[in-house]
Amino acid sequence: MKILIADDDALSRSLLEKTLLRAGYEVTAVADGRQAVEHLVGPDAPRLALLDWMMPEFDGPAVCREIRKRREQSYVYMILLTSRESKEDVVAGLESGADDYLVKPFIADELKARLRTGERILHLEDSLVEAREQMRFKATHDDLTSLWNRGVILDLLGRELTRSQRENVCTTIILGDLDHFKDVNDTYGHLVGDQVLREVARRLLLSVRSYDFVGRYGGEEFLTVLNNCRPDSALGRAEQIRKCICTRPVHTDAGPLEVTMSLGVLLSCDWGHRPAEELINEVDAALYAAKTEGRNRVKLAKPEERTEAIVASQTPAERLL
């Protein structure tokens, strides 16, 4: 494990460095508090630090206070080295953000024991952070495909629509549905169906930019949000997605399977300031049209076509109202 030594006394610094190298640590040694701060906040910084109380630039407590301000970085376990033994000094050192203190002169075995305590605390903190991140991931991602789940992708869509309206740009919404997916589950079983869904999710991610959004909308339906997408390129982008799904078979435990997807596409700039829920309904209607027209194709949702469809479905009396 990496450890930082900050001590302005060259002899003390050298003795500490030799002791810790023999104990198996990767040691960085500096002569003042400002250098200590720079090393502790840099990339791949040490997580353990031995800080002399009295140093130029920043003293030990000042280094502790500076590091504790930076809440975004990983926790650093800091031990103050001091010749001060009064309770007031000990309290002041701990309140500055130090985790422990060691009174000079000290024996090497005590130092190593206190460092092992620090390592245990750091390992515990890492475990808690990992558990928190796993819980956060499970709360926001689909268990099977690891894409954004339905709630999150709809929230991201709403945020992106608000941004695109504010900045007067276009967001493209693509709703895709695997064709005849029920036949895959019925013929080969749900485990093979799951393999197909995971591979389709992987291909969808490969088909978009890093800042676009892809989520599992439900079952075999996937919602893709193309941020700041030029209107004249939207259909081409959707066609690329369709080809990425269908040009190569999906390899499964049941052998290679041909898979196709039908897609509905909607350009937010064509529909004015409409809420996300309404736009989802419109792109879903376009997806349904792609299915009825033969599947494995892209269909654009157009406001004028939607209006004509509504009028055609009305009775003569309703049209006069």
Q: Which active-site residues does the annotation give?
A: 220
Give the C-alpha separation, 261 to 321, whole Å: 40
SS (H, E, C) the chain: CEEEEECCCHHHHHHHHHHHHHCCCEEEEECCHHHHHHHHCCCCCCCEEEEECCCCCCCHHHHHHHHHHCCCCCCCEEEEEECCCCHHHHHHHHHCCCCEEEECCCCHHHHHHHHHHHHHHHHHHHHHHHHHHHHHHHHHECCCCCCECHHHHHHHHHHHHHHHHHHCCCCEEEEEEECCHHHHHHHHCHHHHHHHHHHHHHHHHHHCCCCCEEEEEECCEEEEEECCCCHHHHHHHHHHHHHHHHCCCEEECCEEECCCEEEEEEEHHHCCCCCHHHHHHHHHHHHHHHHHCCCCCEEECCHHHHHHHHHHHCCHHHHHC
Both structure tokens of 38: 């720079």
Residues 6+ apart with CB under 8 A from 20: 3, 5, 27
